[in-house]
């Protein structure tokens, strides 16, 4: 065989090996997602959370397997670049009729960038831009489910249609009273539609798979009437007797945005054609980036890939400069942003002040914990990148100096590609959605906004407690306010599992002189927490203190924390809803969880 033919054959075999690696990954991903239905029916809440955590690491495991195979079987790291060019062309050919081509392209990038030198990270050898269109992909094989089902009710048959929408999911557990629930949904639909005239094209489109997360299953779809489209979701829960019920009817883009928030855990969804699900969901939430929708579906590597493409596009079409982010500077993170881009960039510093007894490795472990944990709408998701090259001229001088001072091991300034374009390369960076720091928000807020924000702050902490998270540093600066006025925690370097903490009451001082000295007179272990001491750090503002003590004084009581710890250790899993109490149906007082103020965790 001639050398050219040999190289071409080898390139095809490498392309096929790469696709085999991706197909194995997505098969396992789908199996785990599909099994969420059985876990929901069995009320296996611990198993559901465990599967959500484990699924997150599937991708990296499959990438590493593919890298090892290409190195050992094909000695891929020694191949000339013309072979890699052929590998990409063959790979594109193999994706022609593939049902997840965009995910397969990202997998190709993940594997090859671990083998190739950085100078080859451009469109000739990896997928900087997509090569295969994801428009109108469907599986036409007999017996395959369509992406969504379409129903054509009339005013008179709408109740029957809603009933059929629910039963078509064939949940293998009895509803407590499905007729009652459908009547409640119908009443909510009537309130939403009002006296709106039914048009010729009136229809209901519903995604064919349920969306599972924690203790809930969600029907997701939209009503179409004339030129109006109304997104909706129906959460299905278990009652205290183990029967199912529809808990609420959520309508509109804002409600769906909250359900798919970047501060919540990823959904489990059985999807054969993920691009089709993303396309449908974007019709419900047109203001939500595709990257965040992929993230919400558990496809966070694809979300990360799309985010970076969007970021590069934004850089090409903007001219403002990266700056030190407004607010109080952190002790372990250097935070910067680009004013025109709604995200912040966080780099771990090389050294910390004495009061921060931690390491880079420990901080990274905390961020991994958050990634794999249930974020209950109160912890921002993060995107983690390595060796990110920024155009040097886009950085303000004081930011460059701070990076070189605090993070010298993480920064390189060079023309590594030899094209005359100087880059500032950051070796490791976290990227998060930008929010208004809560301490800044409180300074600028009206009295009504202060009250709402302080209530939300306490609710955020209680939601974290319900999820077995002790936030550690609870200062206002470590929380942010979203565009929905939701308070979200975003400083993770001191978080701990609640169950690993020891909540204690401050023992009495032996005498008044010792008490007034300001010195600690009692022994303190490494995991000892004294909630009574939170007040002086948090409640210096009298208006803030008044609201806090009226609504959240229990956060200063060690019994509150210890009680939650004991319940979690006993196996109890709290309910934290991704929608407000006002949307919940209120006719199940005998069987449903106790009603609570907006966004406050249910405490049995």
Which residues form the catalytic set?
381
Residue 481's contacts (CB-CB under 8 Å, 6 or more residues apart) are: 435, 436, 438, 441, 453, 456, 487, 488
> Per-residue DSSP letters for 557-597?
-HHHHHHHHHHHHTT------SS-GGGB--S-TTTSPPP-S
Among the listed residues 301, 296, 299, the one whose alpha carbon sits nearest the alpha carbon of residue 285: 296
The H or E element spanning position 101 is helix 101-112
Joined tokens for residue 373 = 């944990």
CA distance 8 to 14: 10
Q: Please answer whether residues 271 and 296 qualify as being in contact, where contact means their C-beta atoms are separated by less than 8 angstroms.
A: no
Number of CB atoms found within 10 A of residue 568's CB: 18
- Which element (helix H / strand E) includes 244? strand 244-246
Quote helix, strand, coil % in the chain, to nearest 5.
Answer: 45, 15, 40
SS3 144: coil
DSSP for 392-416, please give it: GGGB-HHHHHHHHHH-GGGEEEE-T
Q: Taking Cα atoms as reference points, which of 154, 161, 91, 75 lies closest to residue 125?
A: 91
Q: How far is CA 218 from each of CA 37, 167, 215, 312, 392, rounded to the nearest angstrom?
A: 11, 13, 10, 34, 46
Angle between helices 101-112 and 274-284 (to 10 degrees): 110
Q: What is the DSSP letter of 538?
A: H
What tokens were used for 219?
């029907």
**110, 155 in Cβ contact below 8 A?**
no
53 vs 48: CA distance, rounded Å: 9
Are 582 and 596 spatial neighbours (Cβ–Cβ below 8 Å)? no
Contacts of 553 (CB under 8 A, 6+ apart): none
């Amino acid at each position: 065989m001639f050398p050219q033919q040999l190289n071409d054959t080898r390139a095809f075999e490498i392309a096929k090996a790469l696709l085999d690696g991706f197909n194995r990954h997505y098969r396992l991903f789908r199996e785990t997602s599909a099994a969420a239905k059985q876990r929901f029916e069995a009320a296996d809440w611990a198993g559901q959370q465990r599967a959500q955590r484990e699924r997150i690491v599937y991708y990296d495991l499959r990438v590493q397997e593919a890298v090892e195979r290409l190195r050992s079987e094909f000695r891929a790291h020694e191949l000339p670049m013309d072979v890699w060019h052929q590998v990409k062309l063959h790979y594109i050919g193999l994706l022609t009729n593939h049902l997840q081509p965009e995910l397969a392209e990202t997998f190709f990038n993940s594997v090859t960038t671990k083998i190739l030198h950085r100078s080859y990270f451009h469109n000739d050898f990896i997928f900087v831009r997509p090569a295969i269109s994801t428009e109108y992909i469907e599986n036409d094989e007999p017996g395959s489910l369509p992406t969504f089902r379409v129903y054509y009710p009339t005013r008179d048959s709408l109740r029957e249609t809603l009933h059929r929408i629910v039963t078509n999911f064939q949940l293998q557990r009895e509803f407590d009273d499905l007729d009652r629930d459908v009547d409640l949904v119908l009443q909510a639909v009537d309130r939403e539609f009002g006296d709106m005239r039914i048009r010729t094209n009136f229809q209901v489109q519903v995604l064919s798979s349920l969306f599972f997360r924690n203790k809930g299953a969600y029907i997701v779809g939209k009503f179409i009437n004339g030129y109006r489209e109304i997104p909706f979701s129906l959460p299905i829960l278990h009652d205290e007797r183990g029967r199912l019920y529809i808990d609420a009817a959520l309508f509109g883009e804002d409600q769906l945005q909250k359900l798919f928030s970047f501060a919540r855990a990823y959904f489990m969804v059985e999807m054969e054609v993920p691009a089709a699900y993303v396309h449908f969901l974007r019709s419900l939430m047109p203001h939500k980036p595709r990257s965040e929708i992929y993230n919400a579906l558990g496809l966070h590597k694809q979300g990360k890939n799309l985010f970076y493409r969007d970021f590069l596009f934004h850089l090409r079409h903007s001219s403002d400069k990266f700056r030190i982010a407004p607010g109080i500077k952190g002790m372990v993170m250097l935070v910067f942003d680009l004013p025109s881009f709604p995200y912040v960039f966080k780099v771990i510093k090389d050294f910390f002040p004495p009061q921060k007894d931690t390491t880079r490795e420990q901080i990274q472990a905390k961020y991994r914990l958050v990634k794999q944990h249930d974020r209950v709408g109160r912890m921002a998701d993060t995107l983690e990148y390595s060796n990110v090259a920024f155009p040097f001229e886009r950085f303000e001088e004081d930011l460059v100096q701070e990076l070189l001072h605090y993070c010298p091991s993480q920064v390189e300034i060079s023309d590594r590609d030899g094209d005359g374009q100087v880059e500032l390369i950051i070796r490791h960076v976290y990227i998060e959605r930008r929010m208004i720091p809560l301490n800044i928000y409180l300074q600028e807020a009206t009295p009504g906004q202060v009250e709402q924000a302080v209530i939300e702050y306490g609710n955020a902490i209680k939601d974290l407690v319900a999820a077995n998270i002790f936030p550690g540093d609870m200062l206002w600066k470590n929380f942010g306010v979203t565009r929905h006025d939701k308070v979200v925690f975003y400083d993770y370097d001191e978080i701990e599992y609640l169950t690993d903490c020891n909540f204690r009451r401050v023992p009495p001082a032996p005498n008044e002189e010792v008490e007034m000295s300001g010195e600690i007179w009692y022994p303190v272990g490494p995991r000892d927490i004294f909630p009574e001491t939170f007040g002086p750090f948090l409640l210096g503002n009298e208006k803030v203190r008044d609201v806090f003590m009226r609504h959240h004084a229990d956060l200063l009581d060690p019994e509150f924390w210890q009680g939650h710890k004991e319940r979690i250790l006993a196996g109890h899993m709290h309910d934290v809803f991704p929608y407000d109490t006002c949307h919940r149906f209120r006719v199940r007082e005998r069987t449903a969880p106790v009603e609570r103020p907006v966004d406050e965790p249910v405490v049995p």
